Structure 1
């Protein structure tokens, strides 16, 4: 992997931070992009721990801002002249019941999780196409395959990324550019921190959905002890980055493959009954 360049977005914490370290350990020079570079200390600390500081270049990038993307693109191309791997990881999870989520909140979710991914990818597609080489890894979620109540902004955004990635993979295959989806289940990241601001409306005492939202929150909270280590996902991403012919999808995490299998093969009425019973009828 010497002299190969990898871009990772959303690297101040979670999957992005761990993936940056793992790619650097594999020999990539990693352009670690984050919206607020004042939050770089955790990444630098981990880089020092594994003696890969020299392999990581931290850059500012707001995936929802066209000017920020342009400046980032110009810096990367001027400095390195190539991009071998792009990991689209930046994102957050919006929550709440549909009636109580504003259209602006839905748009904000899509600006980051969908349009941000598309915009950053479009910026670097020309260089990958001209190289006739590259790997784009989009961090999706089990939520891109299996819906869940109370999380519709996030789930809709991940379903969108799933379909978009399929189209992009078919378009870019003749040019030697690989497109891959990784679909994590529940891991110990801070992805829910922003979304809770939206969910607060459905947790308010005046909300007709309060009781149901509390049950969903309790279900998620009670499962936190079994959430996986983000390093597992990072290692999978780093492994995919080195593959010649990766598959399109990589589900990963406790119970993920079983959930996808059941969702795909059970009649909807039975699947619906299982979910409603598990969440609301305990």
Structure 2
């Protein structure tokens, strides 16, 4: 196994995780494909000599540690971690319960933290590695009905940007992936849950939004197999990007956000620049 790099991917039982695992195998990686049900992961990804399927609940730190131990026991190392597992709790902020909001952050933010915390000691010993985290355009631009999801994804963005210089001295790189709309399982009932309507002011907008999103399911323009192949290409380059906008729509979102930030920085430049102590040099 010395000549093969080892990639560990979370959430490989369905959706984009399956495509990433298959693309990694096709690219010559040894793959540790993880999910809550190893049987479902094995069924989804298929058989391969260099494939290990492992049970992993990303919300459980002990489960993350056990999965990494299994990966090292089988392959001796972990070169690439892809934090992919996640779900979507949608609804207007006032109608999302505190428990549901916490659950969203627990899975989509603390899940990657748990797995990365388990993997980093291995990568530091190797003095090499790449941590890839699947974020979203919702981690760049917030929108209504996405408060919990965006909160978790914005958290991922800040965490990964701050982690990058911490681990760089040990040969470890990071990459944020911000997909736009891809034809994945994200909007299926298995991955998306909606807040129960409880406030009259929101009922009509909730019905309109849920109807529109359900109609969008399976019609998204992005091809997740192409995303996985492109991701594996970037994983293999000498200097992977710190941030990758996946999809033409994602590129547009980042460009628009950049323009908005520049406009906002300039809008009150004089006032912003007048806040120093009078005795400042």
TM-score w.r.t. structure 2 length?
0.86
- Of 63, 69, 77 in structure 2, the residue corresponding to residue 68 of structure 1 is 63
Give the number of aligned pairs: 259
- Residue 197 of structure 1 corresponds to 193
Deviations 1:112-149 (A, max 9, x none): 11111011101110111121110110000111101110
What displacement does 1:106 show? 1.1
Cα deviation, residue 42, structure 1: 4.4
2:177 and 2:51 mapped to 1: Cα distance? 23
SS of match in other structure, 1:169: helix
CA contact (8 A) 2:60 2:114 kept: no
Q: Contact 2:104/2:149 (CA < 8 Å) preserved in 1?
A: yes
- The question of 1:177 aligning with 2:172 is answered yes
Per the alignment, in what secondary structure is the counterpart of residue 12 of structure 1?
coil
Partner Cα distance (2:41, 2:191) in 1: 22
| Counterpart residue number, 1:230 | 224
Which one is further off, 216-225 or 71-80?
216-225
* Residue of structure 2 in register with 1:272 after alignment: none
TM-score using structure 1 length: 0.85
**Corresponding position: 1:263 with 2:264:** no
Structure 1 residues 39 and 18, CA, compared in 2 at 3 Å: closer, same or farther? same
1:4-40 C-alpha deviation (Å, 9 max, x unpaired):
1110000011111000000111110000001122323
Cα offset for 1:223? Answer: 4.4
Question: Helix, strand or coil: the match of 1:115?
Answer: helix
Q: CA deviation at 1:196?
A: 4.0
Q: Counterparts of 1:5 and 1:195 in 2: how far apart (Å)? A: 27
Q: Per-residue CA shift, 1:209-252, capped at 9, x if unaligned?
A: 12112232344345452431111221122112211111111101
- What CA RMSD, in Å, does the superposition of the two structures yield over aligned residues? 2.0
Work out whether residues 15 and 189 of structure 1, in 8 Å CA contact, stay in contact via their aligned partners in 2. yes
Equivalent residue, structure 2, for 1:276: none
In 1, Cα distance between the equivalents of 2:95 and 2:190?
16
1:265 partner SS: helix
Q: Which has the larger radius of gyration?
A: 2
Q: Indicate the structure with greater helix content.
A: 1
* Per-residue deviation, 1:191: 1.8
Report the CA distance between 1:81 and its aligned residue.
Answer: 2.1
Whole-angstrom distance in 2 between the partners of 1:120 and 1:136: 10
- Aligned 1:116-127 pairs, distance under 5 A: 116-127=111-122
Report if the CA contact (8 A) 2:136-2:180 is conserved: yes
| Structure 2 CA distance for partners of 1:187 and 1:260, relative to 1, 3 Å | same
Aligned equivalent of 1:211, options 195, 204, 217: 204
Label 1:187 to 1:94 Cα distance change in 2 as closer, same or farther (>3 A): same
